[in-house]
Structure formats: structure tokens, C-alpha cells
Structure 1
Amino acid sequence: MFKIQGTVKVINPTQVISDRFSKREFVIETQDTYPQQVIFQTTQDKCSLLDQVQLGEFVDVSFNLRGREWTSPQGEVKYFNTIEAWRIERVGQGTGIPSGGPSPMSLGVDPIPVAQTASALENNSDEADDLPF
């Protein structure tokens, strides 16, 4: 199981491949230094997960990587990967991290008050500076 967060960029309609198989694809853009556009697939009853999602929403996607081998009629072996989404949650709606990133409290770190930091700097400026530079 893997998780990734990003902004929903594309939501495609459900494709009915056969009477026993349907799929739906969507794309999210990550918020990394170099944003990535990642395409996901939902299948069967999971296609309806996208009915509650809007373009531009920031979401948390839980997914599995699926890989398979295929041999062509000519005997050539090829490999395929699928990113299979099985849960899509809006970030900030209960379990997600707010879009501004994790808060210091959620990381187990106490934030330093700004006023305390400024006064500590002022107190240090009165001390003799014995640094060689």
C-alpha cells in the first residue's frame, strides 16, 4: 500500500471494457519541488470513488502498484504497470494533513514563540562579542 497527495487535474469518464470489467482514470499533480502528473486507475465498484471528487481539489490517494508480464504473438515479452487507487480522501476533511503541510504539533515539536525569540536575540546583543570574525 502506498499513499500520495496532490491536486486533481483530470477525471476521465468510466470506460466499460466488457460486461464484467470497467475502469476509470484520473490524474493528480503532486506538490513536489518538481511536480509530477501521475495517472491512477480505479476499477469495478471503485470507479464511483471519483463521483465525489472535483477538479482542483487537494486529495490523499491510497493505491497499490500492479505489474504484469505479457508475451506478444511474436514471442516478445513486455512488462506493464498499473497504479490502482482504492481510496481517495479530501485533505483537511478528517484524516488528511492541511494543505499548508504538517503543523509543528503534529510532528511532536513545540513551536517557538516569535516574541520569545526576538527578546532572546536582544538580550544576546548586550553580551561581549568574542568571536574572531
Structure 2
Amino acid sequence: MKLIGIVKKLFDIQKFNSGFRKREMVLTTEEPYPQNILIEFIQDKVDLLKFIKKEDKIKVFINIRGREWTNPEGIIKYFNSIQGWKIEELQSLSLDHSHSKKTSTSSLSSEDFDDLPF
């Protein structure tokens, strides 16, 4: 799947003791009813955001992930996340960009997507 929109917010990189890295961004879609979509980039995909700035128009290729969790009371809950794995910069609205249209990709590993259905 892919989403096209304007970067609304970029969060700082989160680093955990286990070595796990994560960075999130909010993308505002361009449609009659714009949506603010939180997208996370994990491990080496964090580097895809290196040249992305607020207000850039980008295309983000995503996977939707779902998890099941049982709370201490025994109730099963479900959580979804949207993980980015590729970015194409369509237009830079920031004046401080010194690069042209770029495509950022990196190889996928089993650590990134451990339960893909294909």
C-alpha cells in the first residue's frame, strides 16, 4: 500500500536498550477529508527519514501490522500500526533542501516483518 501527503510532524528517533530504533512521522493526506496518519519507521528504515523535512510532499509505501495482547485481567486486545518501508519525495516545500527528488529504500529483513502473509 502507499500513502501520498504532506509531512506534518517528524518525531525524534527513539532508541531502546535492546538496540531497537524507531522514528515516527505524521503524514496529512490530500483528499476531500484529509487524515493525519501516524507512520512508524523501525530499525534501518529510520534512515529513510534522514532527508525528509516538515511540509515535504512524499509518497510512503507502508505495511499495516496487527498485534494481539492479553492484559493482566485476561482480556484480549488488538493493536494496529502502520510501518513505512520506502519513501519517494514528490515535492519539497522547505527552502532548506539542497537535494532533488529522491527515492529512499533499504532491504527488508525478517526482523522488520516477521509475519508477512506472502
Q: One fold, TM greater than 0.5?
A: yes
Q: Which segments of 5 or more consecutive residues in structure 2 lack a partner in the other structure?
A: 92-100, 104-118
What amino acid is the match of 1:81? N
In structure 2, the residue matched to 1:20 is 19
Report the Cα offset of residue 17 of structure 1.
2.5
Gaps of 5+ in 1: 96-133
Pairwise CA distance, 1:91: 1.2
Q: Which has the larger radius of gyration?
A: 1
Q: Name the residue aligned to 2:85.
A: 86
Residue 63 of structure 2 corresponds to 64
Shift, 1:18, TM fit: 2.8
Output the TM-score relative to the length of structure 1: 0.67
Higher helix share: 1
Larger relative strand fraction: 2
Aligned CA distance change for structure 1 residues 42 and 94 (closer, same or farther; 3 Å): closer
Offset of 1:75 from its aligned partner? 0.2
Moved more, 55-64 or 11-20: 11-20
In the TM superposition, what is the alpha-carbon distance from 1:65 to its structure 2 partner?
Answer: 0.3
Q: 1:42 maps to which residue?
A: 41
Structure 1 runs, 4 residues or longer, greater than 2 Å off: 17-20, 92-95
Cα distance per residue 1:83-106 (max 9 Å; x no partner): 0000111016378xxxxxxxxxxx
Equivalent position SS for 2:50: helix
Offset at residue 44 of structure 1 (A): 0.6
TM-score (norm: length of structure 2): 0.75
Equivalent runs, 1:95-114 vs 2, <5 Å: none
When the two chains are superposed, the root-mean-square deviation of aligned CA atoms in Å is 1.5
Give the % identical residues: 40
Aligned residues: 94
Give a deviation string over 1:56-93, Cα, whole Å, max 9, x none: 01000000000010001210110000100001110163
CA distance in 2, matches of 1:18, 1:49: 22
Higher relative contact order (CA 8 A, sep 6+): 2
Cα offset, 1:16, TM superposition: 1.0
